[in-house]
């Protein structure tokens, strides 16, 4: 029997505690998980280390390049065009939501209302709805 294909997820957040929680949750659910505490580290992982995630969850408010600028950058360079991109953020400002829509992200989860098991469910729901 061939090994089942492990889904790859990249979680980006400047909050290490949250990253560890999400990493544990997704690992237990069978994902191959990579975490980055900055968008620059994430860009490096994608461009230099060649990591091709199936799903990216990305915080918005982070020091350095914010999450939406990161999405803009990977869109502009057409990096990992097949990845499902989900903003996972405390911010639910209408400005951010409008920016996220414009960038055509696949989902938007507000952290304050989402415990890790809910985030996992939501991510799976968004991923499934994107499949043809």
Helix or strand (DSSP H, E) at 57: strand 55-58
Which residues make up the interface to Mg ion (CB under 5 A)? 14, 59, 61-62
The minimum distance between CB 30 and Mg ion, in angstroms, equals: 27
How far, in Å, CA of 57 to CA of 3, rounded? 25
CB 74 within 8 A of CB 46: yes
The minimum distance between CB 73 and Mg ion, in angstroms, equals: 17
Place of tokens 């911010």: 91
Quote the strand ranges of the chain, DSSP E: 8-12, 32-36, 55-58, 84-89, 107-110
Residue among 23 and 29 whose Cβ is closer to Mg ion: 23
Residue among 20 and 77 whose Cβ is closer to Mg ion: 20
Residue among 90 and 129 whose Cβ is closer to Mg ion: 90
Residue among 82 and 113 whose Cβ is closer to Mg ion: 113
Contacts of residue 76, defined as CB under 8 A and 6 or more positions apart, other chains included, come to none
The minimum distance between CB 110 and Mg ion, in angstroms, equals: 13
The minimum distance between CB 105 and Mg ion, in angstroms, equals: 16
């Amino acid at each position: 029997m061939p090994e089942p294909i492990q889904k790859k997820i990249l979680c980006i957040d400047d909050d290490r505690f949250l990253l560890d929680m999400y990493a544990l949750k997704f690992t237990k659910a069978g994902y191959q998980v990579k975490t980055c505490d900055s968008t620059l580290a994430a860009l490096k992982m994608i461009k230099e280390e060649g990591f091709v995630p199936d799903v990216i969850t990305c915080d918005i408010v982070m020091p350095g390049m914010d999450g939406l600028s990161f999405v803009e950058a990977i869109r502009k360079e057409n990096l990992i065009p097949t990845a499902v991109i989900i903003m996972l953020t405390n911010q639910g400002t209408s400005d951010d939501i409008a920016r996220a829509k414009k960038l055509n992200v696949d989902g938007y989860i507000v952290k304050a209302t989402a415990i890790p098991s809910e985030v996992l469910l939501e991510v799976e729901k968004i991923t499934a709805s994107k499949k043809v």
